Chain A
Amino acid sequence: MARLLKLNVFRYNPQDPKSVPHLQTYVLDETDNMTMFIALNRVREEQDPGLQFDFCCRAGICGSCAMVINGRPSLACHTKTKDLPDEITLLPLPVFKLIGDLSVDTGVWFRAMYDKVESWIHTRKEFDPKALEERMDNAVAEQIYELERCIECGCCVAACGTARLRDDFMGAAALNRVARFVVDPRDTRTDKEYFEIIGNDTGIFGCMGLLACEDVCPKDLPLQNQLGYLRRKMGITALKSLFSRK
């Protein structure tokens, strides 16, 4: 027999002067292959048309629908209700600014990050439309893509101990972004230049090594390895610059 699911959903609309933060309970009958995408849309269409949440691709590709599901930051579209108990509590991601209910402002946070880490290829070369493309080893291309797979859902930031303590911590997503350019031979930035960006407490040295970022990453990005790799690289860069000053 189908289960009755009890959804406790965080409600607060900052644009409504009468609204106060609270949990609201909805009861819903579970259907086959139900994901939180199906469940939340049914709640909105059948019970509470003003309920705010974000979905876009509903296929785990775009990163819109991250929220805290029974205590864990996850993509709602990825989450099958059959893997959850009868009672499910949904909260918006912490760290990011609340827009309303389960919807948070990841867009502004990530755009600021692009500027901070200068999230683009730094090169002095000009593009020549008549020339063949520069060659690249396929293994290198795949290595770059592996890190490019980040969908900026914000789960790693929401689960990060340091990010919860200090607003200026860059978080795993930003550090992973830097790692993506470090492995890219087209980017001419030196270790010293990367050190300028992340060689401090708001960057790689702020990480406490709790590694919840990797635990919650819905794309299974190798964040633990990347953070270790950058920390060592930046540590060496710091030592080198110490000695070169002498």
Chain B
Amino acid sequence: MQTHYSDLLVIGAGLSGERIAVEAAQAGFGVTVLSIVPARRSHSSAAQGGMQAALGNCAMGKDDCPDVHFLDTVKGSDWGADQEVARMFVDTAPIEMRRLAYWGVPWNRVVPGKSFYFKGGEKFEKVEPEDRAGLITARSFGGTAKWRTCYTSDGTGHAVMCTMDNRCAQLGIDVRDRCEAIALIHDGQTCFGAIVRSLRSGELSAYLARATAVCTGGFGRIYKATTNAVICDGAGHIIALDTGAVPVGNPEAIQFHPTGIVPTDILVTEGCRGDGGTLLDVNQDRFMQIYEPEKAELASRDVVSRRMTEHMRKGLGVKSAYGDHLWLDIRHLGDKHISTKLREVDEICKYFLGIDARTQLIPVRPTQHYTMSGIRTDKDGAAYGLTGLFSAGEAACWDMHGFNRLGGNSLAETVVAGGIIGAKIAEFLGGHEVKFDTTLVRQAGAQAEERIKAIVSGTNGHEDVYKVRGALQEALMDGCFVFRNGPDLEKCIDTLHEVYERSGRVGLRSNGLGANPELAVALKIRGMVKLGLCIAYGALARTESRGSHTREDYPERNDRDWLTRTLAYWPDGAEKPVLKYEPSSPVYELPPGDRGYGGGKIIPADPASLTLIKKEVKG
């Protein structure tokens, strides 16, 4: 087995992974970045909308500041966020946007003078200030008080990803694609790197490092309907959970996006609604204003997803061969707007639906979109449970999103967290030495080899891995989707235990040679079912509704009992996760209150139980 060494091993070359790599390399450390796809194909590149940062340059962002961004983020999280982390994030975001501009991101800029925008289908006028001409501008996004989302046309993630990967090339960082980490090397205390399977040859190697960062994105692909890329299958979470020492934070906190197209579940950006797109039902009537008079289509995405589902349950959805859906209408935005500002949306409609959004309605439905859940870390990005293991971006539960992430906050998190955590890792590397135990490394390699051999030869059985995966995805759609309740969750857990048992009997039907795709799924399937079980158990235990976690049988947000974060561990050999809890936030700059949208009752917390910090908060 080949062995590679670097100071820092980054698993995942999306925005957060590469941002960490850049920070550590700039500090003089040797960095290896592994990715299962060429870096620029990472799912970061698919984020169309933009990055939230309170620059306050554009007319509709006037008087914006990190404090207002902080309020939006914490309210959006339904008070599930770690407020120290949220504060760090909002304060750093504007600087990071400027840094990206310096590195080469072609942000859209303020164009002074009169222009028009749409809100709720109506046309309004705004005047961009002369003195801000040429500074980074912003657009509107769901759930924010100000226009704060920095963007490059309709391809922000793509443009920033290009710039970040260029920066890696400039610094000579070793970025290797088609490499998949299948196990972490650790002794229960310290992480020493990973065992990695080549997706070119199928060979295994050991990548040793003094620090390892898991930045592998979300795990939406454990659901049947998801906007996520096919690579977002939780591979990073699985290897962390498999250690038995590292918990997944808030597994039940999964976000659904209101506008996945039917049938392929490709996301059309929230920018559509931000720019004035409306949602229509089977009668082609608007309905969001009935439920949310104030924000209507611009309410936060969990609220919009829920209201859409509620409306469809009333029989007002459009029937189709793929189930019920609603319509997204952007016809009134006009040809110029659609072909420039919403070009990607235009292309999606043309290429994947064969319709013209200028004249036709877009079929949409809520679909899994984002995992607020992730590898639980402290505010420095250090994973709970193992020294030398870090995580950032969607893969992590850092946790600035709590139970609901705002549009544009996740893409911003990738680079902002990457920068902050990259600097912390550099600091850590400055003072952390390890001794590599070759026995441990060889054991980890031999274990991986044995696992592969058993799957290829069918020693454990001949379950079809794709069928097992299908069963997992269906179970989660039935039990752990937009609405949840006790009986359905219990049924879901029973089903998932059967699926878990089957996942242990997977055997290949193909020969497993080279970069065999069946083997790649088979190596992950057991971990994917574990993640599903973590969601279901976490959701069943949390007897309240908070953010995207909606219990029909417990509609109140219960701050008295549930102002907590779930920590799901999977001890070695256990049959189900062990759930522990910690306070949502070590301090409360913004005490729990009403979000101002979404409705619902709140059972208040005992004020004496919260550590409040006093700070002048504007807005």
Alpha-carbon gap, A100 to B162, bound state (A): 27
Within 8 A of A (CB), among B57-102: 95, 97-99, 101-102
Q: Add 5 more A-B contacts to A111-B175, A133-B101, A135-B134 (CB < 8 A).
A: A15-B514, A57-B46, A99-B515, A125-B102, A136-B109
| Chain B residues, CB < 8 A from A108 | 177
Alpha-carbon gap, A82 to B95, bound state (A): 48
Per-residue interface assignment for chain B, residues 335 to 359, with 1 indicating a CB less than 8 Å from any chain A CB and 0 otherwise? 0000010001001100111100000
- Shortest CB-to-CB span from A175 to chain B, Å, is 16
Within 8 A of B (CB), among A105-156: 105-108, 110-111, 114-115, 118-121, 125, 127, 129, 131-138, 141-142, 144-145, 148-149, 151-152
Given A45-B466, A142-B153: A57 and B41 within 8 A (CB)?
A: yes
| Chain A residues, CB < 8 A from B509 | 49-50
A52 close to chain B: CB less than 8 A: yes
Q: Find B515's partner among A103, A127, A152, A184 (CB 8 Å cutoff).
A: A103
Alpha-carbon gap, A187 to B166, bound state (A): 13
| Chain A residues, CB < 8 A from B106 | 136, 141-142, 144-145, 148, 184
| Chain A residues, CB < 8 A from B464 | 49
- Shortest CB-to-CB span from A32 to chain B, Å, is 6
> In the complex, are the beta carbons of A135 and B135 less than 8 A apart?
yes
A to B CB contacts below 8 Å, 8 in the list: A50-B510, A56-B43, A58-B229, A60-B348, A99-B514, A136-B109, A141-B106, A144-B106
Q: Find B158's partner among A135, A142, A149, A187 (CB 8 Å cutoff).
A: A149
Given A32-B321, A125-B102, A132-B135: A58 and B516 within 8 A (CB)?
A: no
Alpha-carbon gap, A232 to B543, bound state (A): 69
Given A57-B229, A114-B166: A141 and B107 within 8 A (CB)?
A: yes
> In the complex, are the beta carbons of A61 and B344 less than 8 A apart?
yes
Alpha-carbon gap, A227 to B459, bound state (A): 57
| Chain A residues, CB < 8 A from B319 | none
- Shortest CB-to-CB span from B235 to chain A, Å, is 13
Within 8 A of A (CB), among B526-573: none
Alpha-carbon gap, A111 to B511, bound state (A): 31
Alpha-carbon gap, A152 to B103, bound state (A): 20
A64 close to chain B: CB less than 8 A: yes
A13 close to chain B: CB less than 8 A: yes
Q: Find B466's partner among A49, A57, A63, A187 (CB 8 Å cutoff).
A: A49
- Shortest CB-to-CB span from B549 to chain A, Å, is 27
Q: Which of A44, A48, A50, A131 has the most CB of B within 10 A?
A: A50
Q: Find A56's partner among B104, B230, B348 (CB 8 Å cutoff).
A: B230
A78 close to chain B: CB less than 8 A: yes
Q: Which of A133, A142, A187 has the most CB of B within 10 A?
A: A133
A62 close to chain B: CB less than 8 A: yes
Looking across the interface, which residue of chain A has its beta carbon closest to that of B514?
A15
Alpha-carbon gap, A213 to B29, bound state (A): 40
A164 close to chain B: CB less than 8 A: no
| Chain B residues, CB < 8 A from A240 | none
Given A15-B515, A148-B162: A56 and B202 within 8 A (CB)?
A: no
Given A33-B263, A127-B99, A141-B108: A149 and B155 within 8 A (CB)?
A: yes
> Which 7 residue pairs spanning A and B have beta carbons closest together?
A15-B514, A50-B510, A135-B134, A107-B38, A107-B177, A144-B106, A120-B170
A186 close to chain B: CB less than 8 A: yes
Alpha-carbon gap, A76 to B224, bound state (A): 21
Q: Find B513's partner among A15, A45, A64, A186 (CB 8 Å cutoff).
A: A15
> In the complex, are the beta carbons of A141 and B347 less than 8 A apart?
no
Q: Find A61's partner among B45, B99, B508 (CB 8 Å cutoff).
A: B45
A228 close to chain B: CB less than 8 A: no
- Shortest CB-to-CB span from B28 to chain A, Å, is 17
A29 close to chain B: CB less than 8 A: no
> In the complex, are the beta carbons of A129 and B266 less than 8 A apart?
no
B169 close to chain A: CB less than 8 A: yes
Given A51-B517, A111-B169: A15 and B202 within 8 A (CB)?
A: yes
A80 close to chain B: CB less than 8 A: yes
| Chain A residues, CB < 8 A from B478 | none
> In the complex, are the beta carbons of B46 and A133 less than 8 A apart?
no
Within 8 A of A (CB), among B428-475: 464-466
- Shortest CB-to-CB span from B35 to chain A, Å, is 8
> In the complex, are the beta carbons of B46 and A16 less than 8 A apart?
no
B216 close to chain A: CB less than 8 A: no
Given A13-B514, A61-B46: A129 and B99 within 8 A (CB)?
A: yes
Alpha-carbon gap, A84 to B258, bound state (A): 32
> In the complex, are the beta carbons of A138 and B466 less than 8 A apart?
no
> In the complex, are the beta carbons of B110 and A138 less than 8 A apart?
yes
Per-residue interface assignment for chain A, residues 53 to 90, with 1 indicating a CB less than 8 Å from any chain B CB and 0 otherwise? 01111111111100000000000001010100000000
Alpha-carbon gap, A55 to B43, bound state (A): 12
Number of A-B contacts (CB under 8 A): 208
| Chain A residues, CB < 8 A from B266 | 58-59
| Chain A residues, CB < 8 A from B178 | 99, 105, 107
> In the complex, are the beta carbons of B37 and A107 less than 8 A apart?
yes
A235 close to chain B: CB less than 8 A: no
| Chain B residues, CB < 8 A from A48 | 510
> In the complex, are the beta carbons of A57 and B321 less than 8 A apart?
no
| Chain B residues, CB < 8 A from A60 | 347-348, 351-352
| Chain A residues, CB < 8 A from B37 | 54, 56, 62, 64, 107
- Shortest CB-to-CB span from A10 to chain B, Å, is 15
> In the complex, are the beta carbons of B516 and A152 less than 8 A apart?
no
Alpha-carbon gap, A20 to B456, bound state (A): 21
| Chain A residues, CB < 8 A from B155 | 61, 145, 148-149
| Chain A residues, CB < 8 A from B101 | 133-134, 136
| Chain B residues, CB < 8 A from A51 | 517
| Chain A residues, CB < 8 A from B189 | none
Q: Find A16's partner among B99, B199, B514 (CB 8 Å cutoff).
A: B514
Within 8 A of B (CB), among A1-58: 13-16, 32-33, 35, 37-38, 44-45, 48-52, 54-58
- Shortest CB-to-CB span from B331 to chain A, Å, is 21
Q: Find B134's partner among A38, A57, A137, A144 (CB 8 Å cutoff).
A: A137
> In the complex, are the beta carbons of B134 and A142 less than 8 A apart?
no
- Shortest CB-to-CB span from A129 to chain B, Å, is 5
Looking across the interface, which residue of chain A has its beta carbon closest to that of B176?
A107
Looking across the interface, which residue of chain A has its beta carbon closest to that of B96?
A129
| Chain A residues, CB < 8 A from B508 | 49
Alpha-carbon gap, A186 to B509, bound state (A): 54
Alpha-carbon gap, A121 to B202, bound state (A): 36
Q: Which of B102, B153, B167 has the most CB of A within 10 A?
A: B102
| Chain B residues, CB < 8 A from A152 | 38, 40-41
> In the complex, are the beta carbons of B108 and A138 less than 8 A apart?
yes
B611 close to chain A: CB less than 8 A: no
| Chain B residues, CB < 8 A from A132 | 98, 135
| Chain B residues, CB < 8 A from A37 | 264
> In the complex, are the beta carbons of B515 and A78 less than 8 A apart?
no
B16 close to chain A: CB less than 8 A: no
- Shortest CB-to-CB span from B136 to chain A, Å, is 6
B111 close to chain A: CB less than 8 A: yes
